[in-house]
Structure 1
Amino acid sequence: MKTGNQTTVSKFLLLGLTEDPELQPFIFILFLSMYLVTILGNLLIILAIISDSHLLTPMYFFLCSLSFNDILLSSSIIPKMLVNILAQDQSITYAGCLFQVCFVLVFMAMESCLLAVMSYDRYVAICHPLTYTVTMKPSLCVLLVLVSLSISIVDGLLHTLMVLWLSFCTDLEIPHFFCELDQVIKLACSDTLIDNILIYIAACIFGGTPLSGIIFSYCHIVSSVLRMPSPGGKHKVFSTCGSHLSVISLFYGAGFGV
Protein backbone atom coordinates (compact mmCIF):
# COMPACT_ATOMS: atom_id res chain seq x y z
CA MET A 1 0.00 0.00 0.00
CA LYS A 2 1.18 3.50 -0.71
CA THR A 3 2.11 5.72 2.18
CA GLY A 4 -0.30 8.48 1.22
CA ASN A 5 -3.38 9.31 -0.76
CA GLN A 6 -2.14 10.12 -4.24
CA THR A 7 -5.59 10.44 -5.81
CA THR A 8 -6.61 13.54 -7.75
CA VAL A 9 -10.24 12.47 -8.01
CA SER A 10 -12.84 15.10 -7.14
CA LYS A 11 -16.03 13.09 -7.60
CA PHE A 12 -17.51 9.65 -8.17
CA LEU A 13 -20.47 8.67 -10.34
CA LEU A 14 -23.33 6.74 -8.74
CA LEU A 15 -24.93 4.69 -11.51
CA GLY A 16 -28.00 3.94 -9.38
CA LEU A 17 -30.52 1.21 -10.05
CA THR A 18 -31.00 1.93 -13.75
CA GLU A 19 -29.86 4.36 -16.43
CA ASP A 20 -33.22 4.28 -18.21
CA PRO A 21 -34.55 7.89 -18.02
CA GLU A 22 -38.17 6.70 -18.26
CA LEU A 23 -37.83 4.76 -14.99
CA GLN A 24 -36.25 7.61 -13.04
CA PRO A 25 -39.57 9.29 -12.02
CA PHE A 26 -40.90 5.94 -10.79
CA ILE A 27 -37.74 5.25 -8.78
CA PHE A 28 -37.84 8.77 -7.34
CA ILE A 29 -41.47 8.43 -6.18
CA LEU A 30 -40.84 4.92 -4.83
CA PHE A 31 -37.79 5.84 -2.76
CA LEU A 32 -39.27 9.16 -1.62
CA SER A 33 -42.36 7.31 -0.36
CA MET A 34 -40.22 4.68 1.39
CA TYR A 35 -38.07 7.38 2.97
CA LEU A 36 -41.04 9.39 4.23
CA VAL A 37 -42.72 6.29 5.64
CA THR A 38 -39.48 5.30 7.36
CA ILE A 39 -38.96 8.74 8.91
CA LEU A 40 -42.61 9.20 9.93
CA GLY A 41 -42.98 5.67 11.29
CA ASN A 42 -39.83 5.82 13.40
CA LEU A 43 -40.65 9.32 14.67
CA LEU A 44 -44.09 8.11 15.78
CA ILE A 45 -42.48 5.18 17.61
CA ILE A 46 -40.05 7.51 19.39
CA LEU A 47 -42.79 10.01 20.32
CA ALA A 48 -45.09 7.23 21.57
CA ILE A 49 -42.37 5.78 23.80
CA ILE A 50 -41.31 9.16 25.18
CA SER A 51 -44.87 10.32 25.89
CA ASP A 52 -46.02 7.18 27.71
CA SER A 53 -44.37 6.49 31.07
CA HIS A 54 -45.54 2.85 30.92
CA LEU A 55 -43.27 2.31 27.92
CA LEU A 56 -40.11 3.48 29.69
CA THR A 57 -38.75 -0.05 29.96
CA PRO A 58 -35.50 -1.57 28.62
CA MET A 59 -37.24 -3.14 25.63
CA TYR A 60 -38.77 0.16 24.51
CA PHE A 61 -35.58 2.08 25.28
CA PHE A 62 -33.71 -0.18 22.85
CA LEU A 63 -36.57 0.12 20.35
CA CYS A 64 -36.37 3.91 20.58
CA SER A 65 -32.60 3.76 19.96
CA LEU A 66 -33.16 1.44 17.00
CA SER A 67 -35.77 3.78 15.50
CA PHE A 68 -33.47 6.79 15.84
CA ASN A 69 -30.65 4.81 14.23
CA ASP A 70 -32.94 3.82 11.34
CA ILE A 71 -33.72 7.49 10.70
CA LEU A 72 -30.02 8.36 10.56
CA LEU A 73 -29.18 5.36 8.35
CA SER A 74 -31.91 6.20 5.82
CA SER A 75 -30.95 9.88 5.87
CA SER A 76 -27.33 9.08 5.04
CA ILE A 77 -28.33 7.37 1.77
CA ILE A 78 -31.73 8.27 0.33
CA PRO A 79 -31.67 12.13 0.24
CA LYS A 80 -28.52 12.22 -1.91
CA MET A 81 -30.04 9.65 -4.27
CA LEU A 82 -33.23 11.72 -4.62
CA VAL A 83 -31.25 14.92 -5.25
CA ASN A 84 -29.22 13.19 -7.97
CA ILE A 85 -32.38 11.98 -9.71
CA LEU A 86 -33.98 15.45 -9.59
CA ALA A 87 -30.83 17.17 -10.83
CA GLN A 88 -30.14 14.43 -13.37
CA ASP A 89 -26.62 14.39 -12.01
CA GLN A 90 -25.10 11.08 -10.90
CA SER A 91 -22.03 12.60 -9.28
CA ILE A 92 -21.04 12.72 -5.62
CA THR A 93 -17.98 14.57 -4.38
CA TYR A 94 -14.96 12.68 -3.06
CA ALA A 95 -15.50 14.08 0.45
CA GLY A 96 -19.24 13.40 0.24
CA CYS A 97 -18.58 9.81 -0.76
CA LEU A 98 -16.20 9.28 2.18
CA PHE A 99 -18.71 10.77 4.61
CA GLN A 100 -21.41 8.51 3.22
CA VAL A 101 -19.17 5.45 3.55
CA CYS A 102 -18.42 6.37 7.16
CA PHE A 103 -22.02 7.11 8.18
CA VAL A 104 -23.41 3.99 6.51
CA LEU A 105 -20.83 1.79 8.24
CA VAL A 106 -21.48 3.39 11.63
CA PHE A 107 -25.26 3.10 11.45
CA MET A 108 -25.21 -0.41 9.94
CA ALA A 109 -22.88 -1.65 12.69
CA MET A 110 -25.01 0.13 15.29
CA GLU A 111 -28.15 -1.53 13.94
CA SER A 112 -26.55 -4.96 14.15
CA CYS A 113 -25.38 -4.36 17.72
CA LEU A 114 -28.78 -3.03 18.82
CA LEU A 115 -30.58 -6.06 17.39
CA ALA A 116 -28.24 -8.30 19.37
CA VAL A 117 -28.79 -6.24 22.53
CA MET A 118 -32.56 -6.46 22.05
CA SER A 119 -32.38 -10.23 21.68
CA TYR A 120 -30.39 -10.40 24.92
CA ASP A 121 -33.09 -8.29 26.59
CA ARG A 122 -35.79 -10.71 25.41
CA TYR A 123 -33.67 -13.67 26.56
CA VAL A 124 -33.38 -12.29 30.09
CA ALA A 125 -37.07 -11.30 30.19
CA ILE A 126 -38.33 -14.72 29.07
CA CYS A 127 -35.76 -17.14 30.42
CA HIS A 128 -34.98 -15.32 33.70
CA PRO A 129 -38.08 -13.21 34.46
CA LEU A 130 -37.49 -13.09 38.22
CA THR A 131 -34.12 -11.36 37.84
CA TYR A 132 -35.07 -9.21 34.82
CA THR A 133 -35.45 -5.90 36.65
CA VAL A 134 -32.21 -6.49 38.55
CA THR A 135 -30.22 -7.50 35.48
CA MET A 136 -31.54 -4.97 32.96
CA LYS A 137 -30.98 -1.87 35.05
CA PRO A 138 -31.23 1.55 33.35
CA SER A 139 -27.50 2.08 33.76
CA LEU A 140 -26.75 -1.21 31.97
CA CYS A 141 -29.16 -0.36 29.15
CA VAL A 142 -27.51 3.01 28.56
CA LEU A 143 -24.07 1.42 28.77
CA LEU A 144 -24.97 -1.22 26.16
CA VAL A 145 -26.16 1.46 23.73
CA LEU A 146 -23.09 3.66 24.32
CA VAL A 147 -20.71 0.72 23.88
CA SER A 148 -22.50 -0.25 20.66
CA LEU A 149 -22.22 3.32 19.39
CA SER A 150 -18.56 3.62 20.34
CA ILE A 151 -17.38 0.46 18.59
CA SER A 152 -19.53 1.33 15.56
CA ILE A 153 -17.88 4.77 15.28
CA VAL A 154 -14.42 3.20 15.58
CA ASP A 155 -15.30 0.74 12.80
CA GLY A 156 -16.62 3.46 10.49
CA LEU A 157 -13.66 5.77 11.05
CA LEU A 158 -11.13 2.96 10.60
CA HIS A 159 -12.48 1.94 7.19
CA THR A 160 -12.84 5.55 6.05
CA LEU A 161 -9.27 6.40 7.03
CA MET A 162 -8.04 3.33 5.15
CA VAL A 163 -9.87 4.53 2.02
CA LEU A 164 -8.13 7.92 2.37
CA TRP A 165 -4.80 6.19 1.75
CA LEU A 166 -5.90 4.71 -1.57
CA SER A 167 -5.18 6.03 -5.05
CA PHE A 168 -8.02 5.80 -7.56
CA CYS A 169 -8.10 5.01 -11.26
CA THR A 170 -9.81 7.01 -14.00
CA ASP A 171 -12.90 4.78 -14.01
CA LEU A 172 -14.86 6.21 -11.08
CA GLU A 173 -18.31 4.72 -11.71
CA ILE A 174 -19.93 3.03 -8.71
CA PRO A 175 -22.62 0.51 -9.77
CA HIS A 176 -24.83 1.40 -6.80
CA PHE A 177 -27.09 4.21 -5.58
CA PHE A 178 -24.78 5.05 -2.67
CA CYS A 179 -21.07 4.86 -1.84
CA GLU A 180 -20.79 1.31 -0.61
CA LEU A 181 -17.35 0.54 0.85
CA ASP A 182 -16.62 -2.57 -1.20
CA GLN A 183 -17.54 -0.86 -4.48
CA VAL A 184 -15.38 2.18 -3.66
CA ILE A 185 -12.37 -0.02 -2.87
CA LYS A 186 -12.75 -1.82 -6.22
CA LEU A 187 -12.06 1.49 -7.99
CA ALA A 188 -8.65 1.88 -6.33
CA CYS A 189 -5.41 1.50 -8.31
CA SER A 190 -3.28 0.92 -5.22
CA ASP A 191 -3.03 -2.26 -3.16
CA THR A 192 -6.29 -2.97 -1.30
CA LEU A 193 -5.30 -6.18 0.47
CA ILE A 194 -5.40 -4.68 3.97
CA ASP A 195 -8.70 -2.94 3.22
CA ASN A 196 -10.28 -6.21 2.09
CA ILE A 197 -8.95 -8.06 5.12
CA LEU A 198 -10.45 -5.39 7.39
CA ILE A 199 -13.80 -5.75 5.61
CA TYR A 200 -13.90 -9.48 6.31
CA ILE A 201 -12.84 -8.97 9.93
CA ALA A 202 -15.48 -6.27 10.43
CA ALA A 203 -18.11 -8.48 8.77
CA CYS A 204 -17.33 -11.27 11.24
CA ILE A 205 -17.36 -8.91 14.23
CA PHE A 206 -20.42 -6.80 13.37
CA GLY A 207 -22.30 -9.41 11.37
CA GLY A 208 -21.35 -12.84 12.61
CA THR A 209 -20.95 -12.09 16.31
CA PRO A 210 -24.32 -10.30 16.81
CA LEU A 211 -26.08 -12.87 14.63
CA SER A 212 -24.57 -15.70 16.71
CA GLY A 213 -25.77 -13.94 19.87
CA ILE A 214 -29.26 -13.56 18.40
CA ILE A 215 -29.42 -17.23 17.42
CA PHE A 216 -28.13 -18.28 20.86
CA SER A 217 -30.73 -16.09 22.62
CA TYR A 218 -33.64 -17.31 20.55
CA CYS A 219 -32.64 -20.95 20.89
CA HIS A 220 -32.99 -20.55 24.65
CA ILE A 221 -36.18 -18.50 24.23
CA VAL A 222 -37.82 -21.17 22.07
CA SER A 223 -36.72 -23.87 24.50
CA SER A 224 -38.26 -21.95 27.40
CA VAL A 225 -41.48 -21.26 25.49
CA LEU A 226 -41.94 -24.91 24.55
CA ARG A 227 -41.80 -25.83 28.23
CA MET A 228 -44.63 -23.42 29.09
CA PRO A 229 -47.84 -25.29 29.99
CA SER A 230 -50.16 -22.44 28.96
CA PRO A 231 -50.93 -21.96 25.23
CA GLY A 232 -51.83 -18.34 26.00
CA GLY A 233 -48.40 -17.74 27.49
CA LYS A 234 -46.71 -19.22 24.43
CA HIS A 235 -48.76 -17.03 22.11
CA LYS A 236 -47.95 -13.91 24.15
CA VAL A 237 -44.21 -14.60 24.06
CA PHE A 238 -44.14 -15.35 20.34
CA SER A 239 -46.18 -12.22 19.56
CA THR A 240 -43.73 -10.17 21.63
CA CYS A 241 -40.71 -11.55 19.79
CA GLY A 242 -42.33 -11.70 16.35
CA SER A 243 -41.73 -8.06 15.44
CA HIS A 244 -38.11 -8.26 16.57
CA LEU A 245 -37.53 -11.38 14.47
CA SER A 246 -39.12 -9.62 11.47
CA VAL A 247 -36.71 -6.69 11.80
CA ILE A 248 -33.77 -9.08 12.13
CA SER A 249 -34.83 -10.94 8.97
CA LEU A 250 -35.24 -7.71 7.01
CA PHE A 251 -31.93 -6.26 8.17
CA TYR A 252 -29.75 -9.31 7.56
CA GLY A 253 -31.66 -10.24 4.40
CA ALA A 254 -31.06 -6.77 2.94
CA GLY A 255 -27.43 -6.88 4.08
CA PHE A 256 -26.77 -10.18 2.36
CA GLY A 257 -28.59 -8.88 -0.72
CA VAL A 258 -26.36 -5.81 -0.94
Structure 2
Amino acid sequence: MTHDAATGPKRGTTPGGAARWIHEHALFLVCMAVFVLCLAGMAASGFQVANEERLDHGAAPLPLVEYLTSGQFIEATFENWESEFLQMGAYVVLTVFLFQKGSSESKPIDERTPQDDDPRTVEHGPETPWPVRRGGFVLVLYENSLAIFFFVLFGLSFWLHAVGGAEAYSEEQSLHGLPGVSVWEYLGTAQFWFESMQNWQSEFLAVAAIVGASVYLRQRGSPESKPVATPHHETGA
Protein backbone atom coordinates (compact mmCIF):
# COMPACT_ATOMS: atom_id res chain seq x y z
CA MET A 1 0.00 0.00 0.00
CA THR A 2 1.36 3.48 -0.88
CA HIS A 3 0.41 7.08 -0.11
CA ASP A 4 0.21 9.98 -2.50
CA ALA A 5 2.05 13.29 -2.10
CA ALA A 6 -0.84 14.79 -0.15
CA THR A 7 -0.99 12.07 2.51
CA GLY A 8 2.69 11.25 3.03
CA PRO A 9 5.68 9.37 1.65
CA LYS A 10 5.41 6.11 -0.15
CA ARG A 11 6.06 2.99 1.82
CA GLY A 12 9.65 1.82 1.62
CA THR A 13 11.19 5.26 1.19
CA THR A 14 14.07 6.20 3.49
CA PRO A 15 14.43 9.43 5.48
CA GLY A 16 16.99 12.13 4.75
CA GLY A 17 19.72 13.94 6.68
CA ALA A 18 20.74 12.60 10.09
CA ALA A 19 17.80 10.19 10.11
CA ARG A 20 19.02 8.70 6.84
CA TRP A 21 22.55 8.28 8.25
CA ILE A 22 21.12 6.43 11.26
CA HIS A 23 18.99 4.29 8.94
CA GLU A 24 22.06 3.36 6.89
CA HIS A 25 24.19 2.52 9.94
CA ALA A 26 21.50 1.09 12.24
CA LEU A 27 22.98 -2.41 12.51
CA PHE A 28 26.34 -1.13 13.77
CA LEU A 29 24.73 1.48 16.04
CA VAL A 30 22.32 -0.96 17.67
CA CYS A 31 25.07 -3.53 18.25
CA MET A 32 27.31 -0.89 19.84
CA ALA A 33 24.45 0.38 22.01
CA VAL A 34 23.72 -3.14 23.27
CA PHE A 35 27.46 -3.63 23.86
CA VAL A 36 27.67 -0.47 26.01
CA LEU A 37 24.59 -1.47 28.02
CA CYS A 38 25.90 -4.98 28.61
CA LEU A 39 29.36 -3.69 29.55
CA ALA A 40 27.78 -1.29 32.05
CA GLY A 41 25.71 -4.15 33.47
CA MET A 42 28.80 -6.32 33.72
CA ALA A 43 30.70 -3.54 35.52
CA ALA A 44 27.87 -2.92 38.00
CA SER A 45 27.29 -6.57 38.84
CA GLY A 46 31.00 -7.40 38.88
CA PHE A 47 31.63 -4.47 41.22
CA GLN A 48 29.09 -5.87 43.66
CA VAL A 49 30.47 -9.42 43.44
CA ALA A 50 34.08 -8.27 43.89
CA ASN A 51 33.26 -6.27 47.02
CA GLU A 52 31.22 -9.11 48.48
CA GLU A 53 34.25 -11.38 48.04
CA ARG A 54 36.55 -8.80 49.64
CA LEU A 55 34.23 -8.43 52.63
CA ASP A 56 34.14 -12.21 53.04
CA HIS A 57 37.94 -12.12 53.36
CA GLY A 58 37.93 -9.18 55.75
CA ALA A 59 39.26 -6.69 53.17
CA ALA A 60 37.95 -3.17 52.62
CA PRO A 61 35.57 -2.69 49.64
CA LEU A 62 36.85 -0.97 46.49
CA PRO A 63 35.41 2.25 45.04
CA LEU A 64 33.94 1.83 41.55
CA VAL A 65 36.77 3.65 39.73
CA GLU A 66 39.36 1.47 41.40
CA TYR A 67 37.39 -1.66 40.54
CA LEU A 68 37.22 -0.66 36.85
CA THR A 69 41.03 -0.51 36.74
CA SER A 70 41.49 -3.67 38.81
CA GLY A 71 42.91 -6.92 37.47
CA GLN A 72 39.61 -8.65 38.14
CA PHE A 73 37.62 -6.36 35.83
CA ILE A 74 40.35 -6.20 33.17
CA GLU A 75 40.74 -9.97 33.15
CA ALA A 76 36.99 -10.60 32.92
CA THR A 77 36.57 -8.10 30.07
CA PHE A 78 39.48 -9.05 27.85
CA GLU A 79 39.11 -12.78 28.47
CA ASN A 80 35.85 -12.51 26.51
CA TRP A 81 37.03 -10.01 23.91
CA GLU A 82 40.00 -12.25 23.17
CA SER A 83 37.79 -15.18 22.20
CA GLU A 84 35.47 -13.04 20.06
CA PHE A 85 38.30 -11.54 18.02
CA LEU A 86 39.95 -14.96 17.64
CA GLN A 87 36.68 -16.36 16.34
CA MET A 88 36.16 -13.58 13.81
CA GLY A 89 39.77 -13.55 12.61
CA ALA A 90 39.88 -17.31 12.21
CA TYR A 91 36.51 -17.32 10.43
CA VAL A 92 37.61 -14.64 7.96
CA VAL A 93 40.73 -16.64 7.08
CA LEU A 94 39.15 -20.11 7.06
CA THR A 95 36.39 -19.04 4.68
CA VAL A 96 39.04 -18.05 2.14
CA PHE A 97 40.15 -21.68 1.76
CA LEU A 98 37.46 -23.95 3.22
CA PHE A 99 33.92 -24.68 2.06
CA GLN A 100 30.69 -26.14 3.40
CA LYS A 101 28.30 -27.48 0.80
CA GLY A 102 24.85 -25.96 1.17
CA SER A 103 25.82 -23.31 3.75
CA SER A 104 25.08 -19.62 3.29
CA GLU A 105 28.30 -18.96 5.24
CA SER A 106 30.47 -20.57 2.56
CA LYS A 107 31.56 -19.41 -0.85
CA PRO A 108 30.15 -21.55 -3.68
CA ILE A 109 32.24 -24.66 -4.27
CA ASP A 110 34.39 -24.71 -7.44
CA GLU A 111 33.11 -21.28 -8.49
CA ARG A 112 34.99 -18.01 -8.65
CA THR A 113 33.46 -15.16 -6.64
CA PRO A 114 34.07 -11.38 -6.71
CA GLN A 115 35.97 -11.74 -3.43
CA ASP A 116 38.57 -13.83 -5.28
CA ASP A 117 39.28 -11.17 -7.91
CA ASP A 118 42.78 -9.71 -7.93
CA PRO A 119 42.36 -5.93 -7.35
CA ARG A 120 45.42 -5.33 -9.53
CA THR A 121 43.51 -6.50 -12.60
CA VAL A 122 40.32 -4.47 -12.19
CA GLU A 123 39.63 -1.00 -13.52
CA HIS A 124 40.16 1.73 -10.93
CA GLY A 125 37.88 4.76 -10.52
CA PRO A 126 37.81 7.79 -8.22
CA GLU A 127 35.81 5.85 -5.62
CA THR A 128 38.17 2.87 -5.64
CA PRO A 129 39.79 2.65 -2.18
CA TRP A 130 43.10 4.53 -2.06
CA PRO A 131 45.23 1.47 -1.14
CA VAL A 132 44.00 -0.29 -4.30
CA ARG A 133 44.97 2.68 -6.46
CA ARG A 134 48.29 3.01 -4.62
CA GLY A 135 49.27 -0.64 -5.07
CA GLY A 136 52.45 -2.25 -3.81
CA PHE A 137 52.94 -3.15 -0.16
CA VAL A 138 50.05 -0.86 0.83
CA LEU A 139 47.69 -2.97 -1.26
CA VAL A 140 49.09 -6.22 0.18
CA LEU A 141 48.23 -4.96 3.66
CA TYR A 142 44.83 -3.67 2.58
CA GLU A 143 43.72 -6.87 0.87
CA ASN A 144 44.42 -8.71 4.13
CA SER A 145 43.40 -5.89 6.46
CA LEU A 146 40.21 -7.48 7.79
CA ALA A 147 42.05 -10.55 9.12
CA ILE A 148 44.94 -8.38 10.35
CA PHE A 149 42.48 -6.14 12.20
CA PHE A 150 40.91 -9.03 14.10
CA PHE A 151 44.19 -10.78 14.91
CA VAL A 152 45.74 -7.55 16.21
CA LEU A 153 42.72 -7.05 18.46
CA PHE A 154 43.00 -10.69 19.53
CA GLY A 155 46.68 -10.24 20.42
CA LEU A 156 46.01 -7.09 22.43
CA SER A 157 43.08 -8.71 24.23
CA PHE A 158 45.11 -11.86 24.91
CA TRP A 159 47.87 -9.80 26.52
CA LEU A 160 45.49 -7.65 28.57
CA HIS A 161 43.72 -10.80 29.72
CA ALA A 162 47.10 -12.06 30.94
CA VAL A 163 47.97 -8.74 32.61
CA GLY A 164 44.62 -8.42 34.36
CA GLY A 165 44.51 -12.10 35.19
CA ALA A 166 47.97 -12.04 36.77
CA GLU A 167 46.94 -9.12 38.99
CA ALA A 168 43.66 -10.75 40.01
CA TYR A 169 45.36 -14.11 40.60
CA SER A 170 48.06 -12.47 42.71
CA GLU A 171 45.47 -10.59 44.77
CA GLU A 172 43.59 -13.80 45.45
CA GLN A 173 46.85 -15.50 46.42
CA SER A 174 47.66 -12.68 48.85
CA LEU A 175 44.27 -13.06 50.54
CA HIS A 176 45.33 -16.63 51.33
CA GLY A 177 48.85 -15.66 52.40
CA LEU A 178 50.48 -16.98 49.22
CA PRO A 179 52.95 -15.27 46.84
CA GLY A 180 51.74 -13.59 43.67
CA VAL A 181 52.83 -14.24 40.06
CA SER A 182 54.22 -12.21 37.17
CA VAL A 183 52.39 -11.97 33.84
CA TRP A 184 54.73 -14.52 32.28
CA GLU A 185 54.25 -16.89 35.20
CA TYR A 186 50.49 -16.49 34.94
CA LEU A 187 50.64 -17.43 31.23
CA GLY A 188 52.00 -20.79 32.36
CA THR A 189 49.20 -21.52 34.82
CA ALA A 190 46.27 -23.83 34.21
CA GLN A 191 44.00 -21.00 35.39
CA PHE A 192 44.90 -18.77 32.44
CA TRP A 193 44.38 -21.49 29.84
CA PHE A 194 41.16 -22.65 31.50
CA GLU A 195 39.82 -19.09 31.21
CA SER A 196 40.85 -18.92 27.56
CA MET A 197 39.74 -22.35 26.42
CA GLN A 198 36.33 -22.13 28.09
CA ASN A 199 35.62 -19.15 25.84
CA TRP A 200 37.38 -20.34 22.68
CA GLN A 201 35.46 -23.62 22.57
CA SER A 202 32.10 -21.83 22.74
CA GLU A 203 33.04 -19.42 19.94
CA PHE A 204 34.00 -22.17 17.51
CA LEU A 205 30.91 -24.16 18.50
CA ALA A 206 28.78 -21.13 17.59
CA VAL A 207 30.52 -20.77 14.21
CA ALA A 208 30.10 -24.48 13.47
CA ALA A 209 26.43 -24.22 14.45
CA ILE A 210 25.62 -21.40 12.01
CA VAL A 211 27.69 -22.98 9.23
CA GLY A 212 25.84 -26.27 9.61
CA ALA A 213 22.39 -24.93 10.49
CA SER A 214 22.31 -22.52 7.52
CA VAL A 215 22.35 -25.53 5.18
CA TYR A 216 18.86 -26.62 6.28
CA LEU A 217 17.34 -23.72 8.24
CA ARG A 218 16.26 -20.29 7.01
CA GLN A 219 15.53 -16.81 8.30
CA ARG A 220 13.59 -14.74 5.83
CA GLY A 221 15.12 -11.30 5.32
CA SER A 222 18.51 -12.09 6.87
CA PRO A 223 21.70 -12.01 4.76
CA GLU A 224 23.03 -14.79 7.02
CA SER A 225 20.43 -17.13 5.51
CA LYS A 226 19.88 -18.42 2.01
CA PRO A 227 16.55 -17.45 0.39
CA VAL A 228 13.80 -19.52 1.97
CA ALA A 229 12.96 -21.42 -1.23
CA THR A 230 16.60 -22.22 -2.11
CA PRO A 231 17.42 -25.96 -2.15
CA HIS A 232 19.56 -27.25 0.68
CA HIS A 233 22.42 -28.29 -1.60
CA GLU A 234 23.01 -24.82 -3.02
CA THR A 235 26.03 -23.18 -1.42
CA GLY A 236 26.52 -19.48 -0.68
CA ALA A 237 24.81 -16.66 -2.51
TM-score by length of 1: 0.27
Q: Which has the higher helix share?
A: 1
Q: Which structure has the larger Rg? A: 2
